[in-house]
Amino acid sequence: MNTQAGPLRLEGEREILSHSLWLATARPAAPWPALAGEAACDVAIVGGGYTGLSAALHLAERGISATVLESRSIGWGASGRNGGQVLPGLKEDPDGLEKLFGRELGQRMTRLAGGAPDAVFALIGKHGIECDPVRQGWLQPAHTPQTLALSARRVAQWQARGAPVQSLSREAMAARLGTDAYLGGMLDLRAGSVQPLDYARGLASAAARLGASIHEHTPVQGWRRQAGRFLLDTPNGRLQAGQILLCTNAYTPPWAGALHRSVVPVYSVQVATDPLPEPVRERVLPGRQVVSDMRRLLVYYRYDPHGRLLMGGRGAYGEGGIRRQMAWLRARAMRLFGHHLGKVAWQYQWGGYVAMTQDHFPHVHRLEQGVHAALGYNGRGVAMATELGRLLAQAAAGAHPDEMDFPFSEIRTLPLFALHRPMVGLAIAWNGLLDRLE
């Protein structure tokens, strides 16, 4: 394992985002060659994150040849930079899903999203993926009477469906967190955590062992049809395929047209301490749960396997905004836990884009005959991207959309997409103001 403390740079990223904890502590990466010359497969997969790698793995298990084309390196995007929290559910609770999508489909979506952590940890066990899996549950603390009431309704809905969730009093939440800053909230035992970059690399290795082809540093420049097949052009080669899966999420390139304009890339940034002394860890998150609160601009936190405390949250665009958000996260940690932490060094700071959608749901699309896509995980991509990658594999294998446990939808481009940066900035400022007022 590489545990060097110096800054490790994600190629193509600004220096302020280069001190990645996950990159510094990941296991050695398998080398995947760039595509060179002519190649052919049943299914071409554009993007080497969780969605594409899960699709490749599930296709390989079916004996369908799949080739992953990643423009950078495996897990370079959000899959290698996120907080590593494996959370169940969607932004909408089960009753809301049934109201929006109908009882039958809503129930299927609830089962898929609620069981998504099971799917992740099952894949890890089945394929021996070394990614430091921990499954001690998810704490979602509430900071106002309104969010506490919402938490109680959420717990009741999941309990009615047999999920291992429970409400916690203020005292019980404080004992699990190490701070009395919240009024109570939810404990969901389905959740856990992984080393996210190792998980992505492990999915790639598992898919390759089953026969999938993996190519890094192979940006797709577009595709065209020829004699009933697709031809995907890359700088040094060309891939012929019967079908295409687009799995590029927040890093969807402009050549993807409407798909590129259907999500807003928003920075998520994180900071992490040096390993904390054991007496501190016995007081702050002693149960090793993952945490994300219920603020509009939520904060999430957890430990890594070496006892480093990680804090994450939404960031602004531009180096100044990113630096301010990182400073705010460090200050937030001290407000929550400073009486336990004392003087602490913050060694790591990094981030990257997550893909946000207007309705806060992930989207699955059939762009044309033989071309499918899934994207827009709104910060919950570890579990849902894994599962929607599996659904894309089903679609490529011939399953009808009506058979799926998640709806296929038409692409809807975001209005005023060209102005998304200033609009996101205004939304962040407004929601931050509301959070402070509460």
Rg (alpha carbons) of the chain, rounded to whole number: 21
Contact residues for 424 (Cβ-Cβ < 8 A; gap 6+): 264, 266, 316, 317
Contact residues for 127 (Cβ-Cβ < 8 A; gap 6+): 57, 202, 203, 206, 209
pLDDT band (50, 70, 90) for residue 3? very low
Mean pLDDT for the stretch of residues 207-227: 96
Hey, what are 391's tokens?
């659904």
Q: What is the pLDDT of residues 25-61, one digit of tens each?
A: 999 999 999 999 999 999 999 999 999 999 999 999 9
Hey, what are 377's tokens?
């995980």
Q: What is the 3-state secondary structure (H, E, C) of the chain?
A: CCCCCCCECCCCCCHHHEECHHHHHCCCCCCCCCCCEEEEEEEEEECCCHHHHHHHHHHHHCCCCEEEECCCCCCCCHHHCCCCEECCCCCCCHHHHHHHHCHHHHHHHHHHHHCHHHHHHHHHHHHCCCCCCECCCEEEEECCHHHHHHHHHHHHHHHHCCCCEEEECHHHHHHHHCCCCCCEEEEECCCEECCHHHHHHHHHHHHHHCCCEEECCCCCCEEEEECCEEEEEECCEEEEEEEEEECCHHHCCHHHHHHHHHCEEEEEEEEEEEECCHHHHCCCCCCCCEEECCCCCCEEEEECCCCEEEEEEECCCHHHHHHHHHHHHHHHHHHHHHHHHCCCCEEEEEEEEEEECCCCCCEEEEEECCEEEEECCCCCHHHHHHHHHHHHHHHHCCCCHHHCCCCECCCCCCCCHHHHHHHHHHHHHHHHHHHHHC
Mean pLDDT for the stretch of residues 97-117: 98
Whats the size of the chain, residue-wise?
438
Q: What is the pLDDT of residues 367-423, one digit of tens each?
A: 999 999 999 999 899 999 999 999 999 999 999 988 999 999 999 997 756 545 555
Mean pLDDT for the stretch of residues 335-344: 94
Instruction: Determine the Cα–Cα distance for residues 338 and 205; give it in Å rounded to an integer.
Output: 41
Instruction: Determine the Cα–Cα distance for residues 226 and 134; give it in Å rounded to an integer.
Output: 47
Instruction: Give buried/exposed letters for 71-100 (b at 16+ CB in 10 A, else e).
Output: bbbbbbbbbbbbbbbbbbbbebbbbebbee
pLDDT band (50, 70, 90) for residue 10? very low
Count of other CB atoms within 10 angstroms of residue 12: 8
Instruction: Determine the Cα–Cα distance for residues 43 and 242; give it in Å rounded to an integer.
Output: 6
Type of residue at 49: G
Hey, what are 124's tokens?
């890890």
* % the chain with pLDDT above 70: 90
Nearest CA to 203 among 392, 68, 306?
68
Mean pLDDT for the stretch of residues 94-99: 98
pTM exceeds 0.85, yes or no: yes
Mean pLDDT for the stretch of residues 247-255: 94
